[in-house]
Amino acid sequence: MSALEEIAGDAVLWRRDLHRRPELLYALTETSAFVARKLSAFGLDEVVTGVGGSGVVGVLRGQPGRRAVALRADMDALPIEEITGAPWASETPGTMHACGHDGHTATLLAAARRLATTRDFAGTVVFVFQPAEEGGAGAQAMIDDGLFERFPVNEIYGLHNLPGLPVGRFAVRPGAIMASTDRFYIDILGRGGHAARPQETIDPILVGAQLVTALQSIVARNTDPLASGVVSITTFHAGNTDNVIPQTARLSGTVRALDGKVRGELEASVGRLATAVAAAFGAEARLAYERGYPVTVNHAAAATRVGDVVEGLFGRDAIDRAAAPMMAAEDFSFYLERVPGAYFFMGNGPSAGLHHPAYDFADDAIAPGSLVWATLAKASLSAAD
């Protein structure tokens, strides 16, 4: 058995252990402790806990060198009831690793162990194990806690498993690879009354229904057809009984874009239409618009490095260098606003989709994933400044 096979075999056990005990957002007491114990056992030069709340950072120094690179894995699970029936299924009711962060963590731990064993590189590798990717902006929390000041790096890389892409295959692209995500809440203030006398009311349900239709025109008629955008109404709440026209209604939804300029245009259009449609019926619209994760934008040189590493390891057919971007969002975007780097995908085979209760990470993805991580770290460290 090769050293890589031995490490990957151990990492499968780590992954299944993490899968049994999922934790949410920043409340990663057991997960963070598990990661810190492993990194210390591997002999890393520094293991720092509590970064950004519950993040863990491991520092590994090779031969003297000028460059440093960060590799990031997310650790948190999701509030979903698991239905896989696997022997390693979640033992925490209502919580499961439905996005594969257990696999990401195990894969990066395997790479850390491999690099710590060989130390066949010049420079410094920083292993970033992040909390709260699932809506908690853990990346921003780690940055706010001085991640890049305390552990300065030249580049940073992140990966995510992708169901449907064969195990051992990878995908990347320069430029935007994941969308921004914003949310909005629109309160429509009308005038309630008896449902039998609608002429005495300003019906917020009617206004809301018109607004739902009008908001769909933003992408269809106000956005460049060659740009990507999403405006989706996901909730509509109004009224409590069948014979009363309510006083108010509330709509909420999400806005996604792959370009910062388009993101701003979509936000402005939501506000403009909400105000205008409500006013046309004599109602008032109050908008609360919350910006979430930015667009995840890969730096071209870093994306090329990912492609070159995968091709060098597994051949040209193992890497898609022009992967289609996704309208889902990722807080790795905050890192890429500060440091050059790239975010890429590795195959998870024919599994259930991400965030599905039947999803499970493909254990046989750990070996190729950890090899790519380790090789990518060395490639980044040997790059010219």
Measured between its terminal Cα atoms, the distance across the chain in Å is: 38
Whether residue 133 lies in the annotated active site: yes
Paired sense of beta strands 248-257 and 180-189, if any? antiparallel
- Contact at 8 Å (CB) between 60 and 145? no
Question: To which residue do tokens 């650790």 refer?
Answer: 75
Compute the half-sphere exposure of residue 226: CA atoms within 13 Å on the CB side of its CA.
0
Which residues, including other chains, have CB under 8 Å from residue 169's CB and lie 6 or more apart? 317, 318, 319, 320, 346, 347
Helix extents (H) in 132-259: 138-144, 147-150, 204-221
Count of residues making up the chain: 385
**Contact criterion met (CB below 8 Å) for 113 and 4:** no
Which sign does the torsion angle of CA 361, 354, 308, 126 carry?
A: negative
Catalytic residue among 133, 182, 259, 331: 133
- 228: CB partners within 8 A, 6+ apart: 179, 256, 257, 258, 259, 262, 325, 327
Extract the tokens encoding 264.
Answer: 């701003």
Name the active-site residue from 76, 155, 182, 363: 76
Burial of residue 252 (number of CB atoms within 10 Å: 0-12, 13-18, 19+): middle
Measured CA to CA, the distance from residue 149 to residue 140 in angstroms comes to: 13
CA-based radius of gyration for the chain: 24
| Residue 5 annotated in active site | no
How far apart (Å, rounded) are the C-alpha atoms in residues 372 and 201? 64
Active site (catalytic) residues: 76, 133
